[in-house]
Amino acid sequence: MKLINIMKHIFKKLQLKANSESGNVYKMWDGLLNKIYKYIKIVMPYEKFSQLQKDEQAWIRQRDSEIVQAAKEWEGGSGSTMAQNCAGLEATKERCYYLISLLDDMD
């Protein structure tokens, strides 16, 4: 096997691993976000939570837009999945911190 073929094989395996791991981290943050959101639904006054629901829907559209943009930057390349996962997890991580800050403000 030529060296170039070996290198291509190695890079493909590394990219697949990066895609998988970034997806796992994104899922972890998304799960945490859902738990925080459910807790807020219980403790936040109805009127405030009603506004938060609208805000959350707008945030989801923004996050999804960022994910699409990340994919476009890779033009369908092998790193596209990882870029989408990273864009989603960064937005979701920031949203978790934001939602937690709302709990701090309720005290």
Q: What is the pLDDT of residue 105?
A: 78
pTM over 0.85: yes
The predicted pLDDT at position 9 comes to 76
CA dihedral 73, 8, 14, 74 (to 10 degrees): 0
How far, rounded to the nearest angstrom, does the alpha carbon of residue 99 sit from its chain's CA centroid? 15
Render the chain in DSSP notation, one character per residue.
Answer: --HHHHHHHHHHHHHHHHHHHHHHHHHHHHHHHHHHHHHHHHHS-HHHHHHHHHHHHHHHHHHHHHHHHHHHHHTT-TTHHHHHHHHHHHHHHHHHHHHHHHHHHH-
Q: Give the C-alpha separation, 83 to 77, whole Å.
A: 10
The pLDDT score that the predictor gives to residue 1 is: 64
> According to the model, what pLDDT value does residue 60 have?
98
**pLDDT tens-place values along the chain, 107 residues long:** 687 777 777 878 888 899 999 999 999 999 999 999 999 999 999 999 999 999 999 999 999 999 999 999 988 788 899 999 999 999 999 999 999 999 987 76
